[in-house]
Structure 1
Amino acid sequence: MDLKQLQTFLTAAETLSFTKTAQLLDYAQSSITAQVKTLEQELGVNLFERLGKRIILTEEGKRLQQYAKKMLELDREMKKAISNEQEQVLLKVGAQESQCVYRLPSILQQFQQVHPHVKIIFKPVHTTDIAKKLLQVGDLDVAFITDTYQETSMLQRQRLIEEQLIFVSAPIERMEPLSAQQLALETMLLTETGCSYRNHLEALLQLEGVRPLQMIEFASIEAIKQCVIAGLGMTFLPKMVVEKELTMGLVTEIPSTLKLAPIYTDIAWHKDKDLPPCLLDFIAIAKQKYQTLGD
């Protein structure tokens, strides 16, 4: 068994076609067939099931596919380490706007001091389901998830902090806590459909059998805050995104009788993902920074 055979096998496992594999690798099709046959003889199993002109992976083939990926990745890492190449590493991070704007800058600042050659790309992640899908297909390496905790078998999650969700309006005189029925009469300025804290609010109001009579939807938290300050309505956001405005007296926290479930920010990654050193450092720095916020 050699790495060339494993690469041929992996390509065939992805294309499920010896013809396409030969075209991609620039081999004769007979060479592809021979390499796969040699692997099967060496391992003593059938890696593909031949169904006429079609091929599908056997269970043994699926298992080899996972190990072959790891072996080829290890080979690439070894060659890179030996040659000491300074290739730019890409780190794909998912997070909600609230985390990107108010929490991640200090994490990035410290991370880039340690890993200046790592390029970071941020992608929006509003729910656990979105994070799960993006992590599963490899579009994200790690994600910050803010929601009520949901057990997700394929994700490794570590708790960072418990968030406080509050109702906020333009400054008004102190008032008694609002009931769900009273809240439903307010104009609610909310984040986009699917955002975790909007989902949380709608679920709470639904339990009370009510829904806001008027909702205005925004793609930007900053836009929501400016409209609240202007007196256009009330919003429901993590307290950390309006701390500055509360301190300056630009907005007021509105108490309510709703029983809010705990909502958390976790950092998550695919449980089967091999974590490179730069990603381990990113996770460690994030945990340390959030720990400081929670103290």
Structure 2
Amino acid sequence: MDVRTLSTFTVAARTLNFTNAALSLGYAQSSVTAQIKSLEEDLGSALFNRVGNRLELTEPGERFLIYAERILALTHEAKASLQDEAGVGTLRFTAPETVCTYLLPPVLKAFKEAFPRVHLQFLPGFVRDFKRQVLEGIVDFAFILEEPFPSKTLAVEKIRDEEILIVASASHRFAGSRGISAQDLIGEDVLLKALGCSYRNQFERQLINAGAHPGRFLEFQGVETIKRCVEVGLGIAPLPRMAVEAELRSGQLVAVPWEGPEIQISTYLVWNPERHLGSAEKAFLQHVRDALLPTV
């Protein structure tokens, strides 16, 4: 049970997919499978249930994940304490799919060009765990797409406000509308991100408060899947502008004016103020501010 194996286990536990874990780590899938098997034999307990093509953590696996993350966090902290030379080190961060896909790529590219000796490590995970992971030192920073939230334990910096649009296909009956309300959605199919999405929660509350019952809520894990389904006319969807700008320009999707209250969502950067920020962390924090904070 070494650090390499624990790292492989935590990535597999977050992705619940050995193929994706292998791609993330730069290993062959057979290497990931062998490491997990060796770890399970060492611990004398199954860490994953394999149901067809799906993986799920066993109850012992869920308990062991907490300890594995703590061990890796302490290992990272120990290394960081010895690598405080300017522009050197490893920086771990996490972010929801939307932010990681549509906002961060040019920011990360520019950071790598400015600080080539800093190793950026993206740790995939569940949005509900982001704040805990920051507090426990599992990641150095987390980007969070959420409603305004106070925190007594986290340093929270708003990066930018995000506009949520109601989008439809160009052939949809709402496409030429000057505005729609919650009542207009009665009987209409609505495509939503999976539970835990902040803008989904606000949108659903508006429909509930208005007593408007859509035909169906269709739930998806990924924004790209939602966009493709909206394009072919399966329904309408609330999505961040940053995720649909290309489709709006091409005409594949149209934004339908929403007459309900504005959905208040922002992208935040959070970190643990009790932990020492090394040179890599300080450089990353300033780079994100320079790249994404609005200029006065």
Which residue matches 1:166?
A: 165
SS of match in other structure, 1:167? strand
Instruction: Tell me the number of residue pairs that the alignment of Structure 1 and Structure 2 aligns.
Output: 217
Which residue matches 1:92?
A: 92
Which amino acid counterpart does residue 267 of structure 2 have in structure 1?
T
Deviation at 1:256, TM superposition (A): 1.9
| 1:221 aligned to which of 220, 223, 226 | 223
Which residue matches 1:58?
A: none
| C-alpha separation in 2, matches of 1:97 and 1:243 | 16
Q: TM-score, normalised by structure 1?
A: 0.66
Kindly indicate whether the alpha-carbon contact (under 8 Å) linking 2:164 and 2:263 is maintained by their aligned counterparts in 1: no
Kindly indicate whether the alpha-carbon contact (under 8 Å) linking 1:164 and 1:238 is maintained by their aligned counterparts in 2: yes
Which amino acid counterpart does residue 197 of structure 1 have in structure 2?
Y
Which residue matches 2:265?
A: 263
| C-alpha separation in 2, matches of 1:158 and 1:243 | 25
| 1:237 aligned to which of 236, 239, 252 | 239
RMSD, matched Cα: 2.7
Q: Does structure 1 residue 113 correspond to structure 2 residue 113? A: yes
Distance 1:238 1:95, change over 3 A: same
Distance 1:126 1:179, change over 3 A: farther
Segment of structure 1 superposing worse, 198-207 or 138-147 = 198-207
Which residue matches 2:156?
A: 157
Q: TM-score, normalised by structure 2?
A: 0.66
Which residue matches 1:285?
A: 287
SS of match in other structure, 2:120? strand
| C-alpha separation in 2, matches of 1:287 and 1:266 | 11
Deviations 1:203-235 (A, max 9, x none): 222222334331211121111111111111111
Which residue matches 1:131?
A: 130
Kindly indicate whether the alpha-carbon contact (under 8 Å) linking 2:199 and 2:263 is maintained by their aligned counterparts in 1: no
| C-alpha separation in 2, matches of 1:105 and 1:151 | 28
Which residue matches 2:34?
A: none
| C-alpha separation in 2, matches of 1:92 and 1:114 | 17
Distance 1:124 1:216, change over 3 A: farther
Which amino acid counterpart does residue 134 of structure 2 have in structure 1?
L
| C-alpha separation in 1, matches of 2:211 and 2:293 | 38
SS of match in other structure, 1:242? helix
Deviation at 1:149, TM superposition (A): 0.5
Distance 1:207 1:134, change over 3 A: farther
Distance 1:126 1:254, change over 3 A: farther
| C-alpha separation in 2, matches of 1:75 and 1:168 | 45
Which structure has the bigger radius of gyration?
A: 1
Kindly indicate whether the alpha-carbon contact (under 8 Å) linking 2:95 and 2:142 is maintained by their aligned counterparts in 1: yes
Which residue matches 1:181?
A: 183
| C-alpha separation in 1, matches of 2:91 and 2:253 | 37
| C-alpha separation in 1, matches of 2:211 and 2:275 | 43
SS of match in other structure, 2:238? strand
What are the ranges of 5 or more consecutive residues in structure 1 without an aligned counterpart? Answer: 1-68
Kindly indicate whether the alpha-carbon contact (under 8 Å) linking 1:126 and 1:196 is maintained by their aligned counterparts in 2: no
What are the ranges of 5 or more consecutive residues in structure 2 without an aligned counterpart? Answer: 1-73
| C-alpha separation in 1, matches of 2:80 and 2:162 | 43
Kindly indicate whether the alpha-carbon contact (under 8 Å) linking 1:126 and 1:194 is maintained by their aligned counterparts in 2: no
Which amino acid counterpart does residue 285 of structure 1 have in structure 2?
H
| C-alpha separation in 2, matches of 1:229 and 1:160 | 30
| C-alpha separation in 1, matches of 2:223 and 2:155 | 28
Which amino acid counterpart does residue 209 of structure 2 have in structure 1?
L
Distance 1:132 1:221, change over 3 A: same
Kindly indicate whether the alpha-carbon contact (under 8 Å) linking 2:169 and 2:231 is maintained by their aligned counterparts in 1: yes
Kindly indicate whether the alpha-carbon contact (under 8 Å) linking 2:189 and 2:215 is maintained by their aligned counterparts in 1: yes
SS of match in other structure, 2:201? helix
| C-alpha separation in 2, matches of 1:75 and 1:120 | 13
Distance 1:195 1:122, change over 3 A: farther
Deviation at 1:125, TM superposition (A): 6.2
